Amino acid sequence: MSLTTVSSASFLNIPRVFGLGRAASPPPSPPRTRTRTRKQRSPPNGSRPARTRDNRRTERPRSTSISTLSSLVSNRPPPIDDPRTSWRKSLRELDKQPKSNTNRVDKWRLVEESVRSGSVGESRATESHDLQSLSDEDIFALTQNIKNEEASRRPLVSPISPLSELRLEFSPFADVIGTTESGVSDYEGPNANVLRKIDWLRKHGGWQAIRRTRGDGDCFYRSLAFAYVEKIMTASEPGLAVATSLSHLESTLPLLERAGFQKIVFEDFHEAFADLIQQIVPAPGKLPLTNESLLENFQNPEISNSIVVFLRLLTSAYIRLSPEDDFTPFLIHPDTGEMVDVRTFVETFVEATGREADHPQIMALSRALRVRINVAYLDNSSGSPLEDGTLPIDFVKFSPEGSEEDGMKPVVLLYRPGHYDTLEEKLDP
């Protein structure tokens, strides 16, 4: 396999040119005192009108940095008379309610009601922006923007919250409506199986809490990294666990170089991860890593995102250098369902930040870190309930060779379609 050298700029998707547009044209000369009247020529069909002093080309804006442009765009107030502003507000208010699986019909029913009540604007504007004329792409774009805005307000990693809060997000659509004479809970509603599984996690699985991560496409890598460091902190012999982890991370660096990554690309990202683990057993005179400081570090975008990038690089390198039979059958385009080659897969769906992880990425990173990962799949699929009405949840387990030798428990993640969080056994870690 040929090695591909990936530069820092190409991997991080950092534009090489930070100026947008061309340089501004020189300002026009002031008009002369003496004026002339020129005869206007009739432009031929399809051509531009002739330029005059009263019809000058507008001056192009000066080059603007990407960060400045993004700030201007994000801070720009929406048009006052645009009815979509009120639609977005209505949808945002709806998304704040604990109805995570509200479908398209429910959302647009709310918007139509606001239109009829006159909250969107004048009837003339409503008629010109008929809801029924919106395509599926328009609706998807609006709802996706709302989700992105809401996600950006959440911390990268949140404090622990009880599973009962997650249950409340689904209870408006399903709940226990009573119990039978034998004490079996009677569930009802479109999401009844989700509640059955959450209740099983609490009653039979031994899980009492959840630690949420921001749904930005990096949630798997961020959740795994946090839980990985947390497992080292709670190991029976933290000093040995730290030494083993740091030694193994150091041994992965040649793997990255063999995959074609330049050392200047990954060394800072590796250092951020290694320094955080080293703080568990600090040098004399330094404070040890605590649960509070661990959370603060992962809420710091510079540290948290550096760790995410390092894990993405490590995942990519492992897939690139593994035998073809290990991953090739699983490299599928998530949107089209078509098979893709290794290079296309890792460059598009592994190295690029903001792309969700699936089975190949989890398997590769589990082997690269030599850590056991259990993923609980929380969905609305049916099954055979237990006597108390709860429904056992499916766990997919990744156990690479040699991962049990460190004596640490597996990292346990909770997967809901498109998102990963961390399951916790206790409310107080």
Structure tokens at 308: 């995410």
Nearby residues of 296 by Cβ (< 8 Å), 6 or more positions away? none
The yes-or-no answer on residue 248 being catalytic is no
CA distance 78 to 84: 9
Amino acid, res. 270: H
The yes-or-no answer on residue 419 being catalytic is yes
Buried b (16+ CB within 10 A) or exposed e, 393-408: beeeebebeebeebeb
C-alpha closest to that of 302 among 269, 348, 335: 269
Helix (H, G, I), strand (E, B) or coil at 213: strand
Question: Among residues 216, 218, 406, 421, which one is catalytic?
Answer: 216
CA distance 358 to 7: 25
Question: Among residues 199, 219, 270, 406, which one is catalytic?
Answer: 219
The yes-or-no answer on residue 216 being catalytic is yes
CA distance 376 to 340: 27
Q: What are phi and psi of 64, to 5 degrees?
A: -125, 135
**Pairing relation of β-strands 175-179 and 157-162?**
unpaired
- Residue 288 region, left (φ>0) first, then alpha (ψ -120 to 50), else beta? beta
Question: Among residues 218, 270, 406, 419, which one is catalytic?
Answer: 419
End-to-end CA distance of the chain: 45
What residues act catalytically? 216, 219, 419
